[in-house]
A and B are shown apart, each in its own frame.
Chain A
Amino acid sequence: MSIQPHASETAASLANDAGEGWIDTIPPAAATGSLAAAYERQQAKLGRVTELTQIGSLYPDLVEARLNLYAVVDATPSNVPDWARRAVALLTSVLNGCRFCTVGHVEGLTAAGHEELAEELKAHPDTASAQDPAVDALLEYTRKLVRRPGEITIKDVKALRDAGWDDLAILDVNNLAAYYSYINRVASGLGLTREA
């Protein structure tokens, strides 16, 4: 499965792959050494090197570490269904006001067969329901963790357990919401601000 956080760049944005952020980036044609190697790995997997990857290119080790973390996040072997993981990623990006990331995650959840939920999460992130109590529990935890991380208590984790999730699933949803809270800020904080 692939949530494709970097897939917020649709075909329309590919013409802009030189990047339109607020800082210098190194395009694939100019990359050398470990940066070129990291780019090549993404090129082999996605068929292109995303803007989000390039935005960190002044630090090749950072590019590599981010790509590596993304691969691990994406492959976490929990029992949270693929579409629910996509919903968590989308909800996090909407709550963080990351228009650039939101577009790709709407596409991802829609591709998983949940177009209505995708539109609902985008339009009404505070109240959208997956019409599935267990998944709604994941969404509720995500809302609080993203918006008010200082207010999470053991009751919020207990609510996940009560909804049927085991510890690895809890680790997974926590990691997803936290990871996209990171990536959203890389995009929004360096100028990937348009709707991709």
Chain B
Amino acid sequence: MAWITTIKPEDATDRLAEAYAWQAQRLGSPTEFTQLGSLEPEIVHARLALYKASENTGSALSAREKNLAGHVTSVVNRTPHCTSRSRIKLRELGFDDTQLKAIDALDFTGLNDREAVVARYAEKLTRDPGAVSEADIKELRRVGLGDREIVDANNQVAHLNYTNRVANGLGLLSEVADDFPAFDTVPA
């Protein structure tokens, strides 16, 4: 699978085995993504901890908005593995195939105003982070996002820009199956 050596769950020991077991509590096994960092177990731990914190902010950003932000990021970055996971989430959250096809083409016209603004922020922050301005934040506020929701959306996009590059940069290009439990990957 990956372009560098990784350590399989059955071969993991000590700190790496602990990290794998942490994610396996909910998912049953560590993800392929998690295994990409296995040559340095502390990286695996730190990534899982950040993932847990990122997914448990508890802001008023809806699950649809939050996962839309992540999905748009992965689409812009052309990340097949990550988009296959987030597409499952968006489908479970009620986006239909027509909407998903449009989102995958970065066409946000079929979304409601608030979702479209979040999606556009995700696209801009991913494609050209240096061009983001206070006007973009004001636009998020206009559709009702407060400071906590803005920090949450920013982190979601920024974090996916991290994980997308880990996946694509080390050769995790496979897509997960349609029945992959995409919401269970967050460690307990």
Which residues does A use to contact B, with CB under 8 Å?
22-24, 55-56, 58-59, 61-62, 64-66, 68-69, 71-73, 75-77, 96-99, 141, 145-146, 149-152, 154, 157, 167-168, 170-172, 174-175, 177-179, 181-186, 188-191, 193
Question: Which residues of B are found within 8 Å of A188, using beta-carbon distances?
Answer: 125, 129-130, 132
Query: Does chain A have a CB within 8 A of B18?
Result: no
Instruction: Check if A72 sits within 8 Å of B46, measured CB to CB.
Output: yes
Instruction: Check if B46 sits within 8 Å of A68, measured CB to CB.
Output: yes
Q: What's the least CB distance linking B154 to chain A, in Å? A: 4
Docked CA distance A23–B163 (Å): 25
Given contacts A56-B151, A175-B166, A179-B162, contact A150 B129 (CB under 8 A): no
Which residues does B use to contact A, with CB under 8 Å?
3-5, 36-37, 39-40, 42-43, 45-47, 49-50, 52-54, 56-57, 77-79, 121, 125-126, 128-134, 137, 147-148, 150-152, 154-155, 157-159, 161-166, 168-171
Instruction: Check if A58 sits within 8 Å of B4, measured CB to CB.
Output: no
Docked CA distance A12–B57 (Å): 33
- Output the nearest chain A residue to B47 by Cβ-Cβ distance: A69
25 contacts between A and B (CB under 8 A): A23-B150, A23-B151, A58-B147, A59-B57, A59-B152, A62-B151, A62-B155, A66-B50, A69-B46, A72-B46, A76-B40, A150-B78, A151-B78, A157-B3, A167-B5, A171-B39, A171-B170, A174-B165, A174-B166, A174-B169, A178-B169, A185-B129, A186-B154, A186-B158, A190-B150
- Output the nearest chain A residue to B162 by Cβ-Cβ distance: A182
Docked CA distance A22–B136 (Å): 10
What is the predominant secondary structure among interface residues of chain B facing chain A?
Answer: helix
Question: Which residues of B are found within 8 Å of A59, using beta-carbon distances?
Answer: 53, 57, 148, 151-152, 155
Q: What's the least CB distance linking A61 to chain B, in Å? A: 4
List 16 additional contacts besides A68-B46, A181-B165, A189-B132; criterion CB under 8 Å: A58-B151, A59-B57, A61-B52, A62-B50, A65-B46, A99-B130, A149-B165, A157-B170, A167-B4, A168-B39, A175-B37, A179-B162, A186-B154, A186-B155, A188-B130, A193-B132
Given contacts A149-B165, A171-B4, A171-B39, contact A98 B130 (CB under 8 A): yes
What is the predominant secondary structure among interface residues of chain A facing chain B?
Answer: helix
Partner among B42, B77, B157, B161 whose Cβ is within 8 Å of the Cβ of A72: B42
Docked CA distance A175–B130 (Å): 21
Partner among A22, A58, A76, A191 whose Cβ is within 8 Å of the Cβ of B43: A76
Given contacts A97-B128, A171-B170, A188-B132, contact A178 B42 (CB under 8 A): no
- Output the nearest chain B residue to A57 by Cβ-Cβ distance: B151
Instruction: Check if A62 sits within 8 Å of B53, measured CB to CB.
Output: yes
Q: What's the least CB distance linking B182 to chain A, in Å? A: 21
Question: Which residues of A are found within 8 Å of B125, using beta-carbon distances?
Answer: 185, 188-189
Instruction: Check if B157 sits within 8 Å of A189, measured CB to CB.
Output: yes
Instruction: Check if B134 sits within 8 Å of A22, measured CB to CB.
Output: yes
Q: What's the least CB distance linking A41 to chain B, in Å? A: 14
- Output the nearest chain A residue to B54 by Cβ-Cβ distance: A62
Question: Which residues of A are found within 8 Å of B40, using beta-carbon distances?
Answer: 72, 76-77, 168, 171-172
Given contacts A69-B50, A72-B43, contact A149 B168 (CB under 8 A): yes
Given contacts A62-B53, A154-B171, contact A23 B147 (CB under 8 A): yes
